[in-house]
Amino acid sequence: MSRRWHHWRPRRHHRKYSSAWQPSGVEHLNPTIEKLKQQLEHTPEHEQAALLEKLLVLQSPRAALAQAQMDAHPHGYHDREKRLYELIDFNDTFVSTVLAEPHQVLVGFSDRMWRVMTNFCQVQNTPMFLRDQYDAIVRGLAREIAVYLGAKHEGLEAEMTSRTEDAFGIDMVIRDPASGKYANIDVKTPSAFRYRLEDLVKEKRITNEQLLRADQDDFVTVMNHRNRENVPVTILCVRPEDVGDIVDFQFQNTKRLGELLRHVIAVNGQK
């Protein structure tokens, strides 16, 4: 499935799922997940929303297990790559589901899905995200979705990345049809942007002077490497005070975002 483009209050005794959960506890869902993915491939886009919601719920136990294992073992563990892809798969489905829904359905969407996922995981006796884990995922995906939709609203061409491109740290590719130039965009919060800049300095990939400039500009472009491939990626800081708040996966006003994206493409875009 292509990637198109993170209020039920938990009980106080809501348990913390950990690496003690074995993968076999969620593996039984895999055949149903794959069957539903195949069904989606033969379903017109305008009819996919309900199927995507169902797929999202089915994927929640194994994604929750992946998140729990990643949190418990930040330096790696057995089957980490497989679990990571299951979490990415969940994120992809979340984004696809949001983009398939009519906008009016998105009011309270994340809370509604939280309730359905929680009930499903309880019935299946499988892991479920902690609320703060789920909220962090939703916040990150909501930011990506809002930038994607905002770019399109401003007359730019936007495309969510495939997994291969995402391996380079790219969330989406945005093109300005006026110039024909494009930029590979990695969307960050202000805090995540600052941490990334500091890491880039430590890795000697940018200088302290470039860090200060990026702090002012709210973006920096670096070359990301994988095997023998080198890909330019623009790390973009999305500040609510500059581009506005996100409500139901959209910016309330996209003008400032459009100006920022066009500036990024003009300065560091590729032909």
* Structure confidence at residue 131 as a pLDDT band (50, 70, 90): very high
According to the model, what pLDDT value does residue 24 have?
A: 52
According to the model, what pLDDT value does residue 42 have?
A: 95
* Structure confidence at residue 52 as a pLDDT band (50, 70, 90): very high
Q: What is the pLDDT of residues 84-111, one digit of tens each?
A: 888 889 999 999 999 999 989 999 999 9
| Contact predicate 95/69, CB 8 Å | no
Q: Domain coordinates of the chain in residue numbers? A: 24-129, 145-268
Q: Is the pLDDT of residue 8 over 80?
A: no
| Contact predicate 103/40, CB 8 Å | no
**Rounded mean pLDDT, 66-89:** 79
Residue 154's Cβ-side half-sphere holds a number of Cα atoms within 13 Å equal to: 27
According to the model, what pLDDT value does residue 62 have?
A: 93
**Rounded mean pLDDT, 43-61:** 95
What stretches of the chain show up as alpha helix (H) in DSSP? 24-27, 30-41, 49-72, 80-100, 109-124, 131-153, 163-166, 190-202, 208-217, 240-243, 255-268
Which amino acid, 127?
A: P
According to the model, what pLDDT value does residue 15 have?
A: 36
* Structure confidence at residue 7 as a pLDDT band (50, 70, 90): very low
Q: Is the pLDDT of residue 6 over 80?
A: no
| Contact predicate 184/231, CB 8 Å | yes
Residue 18's Cβ-side half-sphere holds a number of Cα atoms within 13 Å equal to: 5
**Rounded mean pLDDT, 165-174:** 82
Q: Of 165, 206, 200, 199, nearest to 182 (Cα)?
A: 165
According to the model, what pLDDT value does residue 166 have?
A: 66
In this structure, what token pair is assigned to residue 176? 């300005």
The per-residue pLDDT of the chain, averaged, comes to 87
pTM: 0.84
Name which of 38-47, 189-198, 219-228, 240-249 the model is least confident about: 219-228
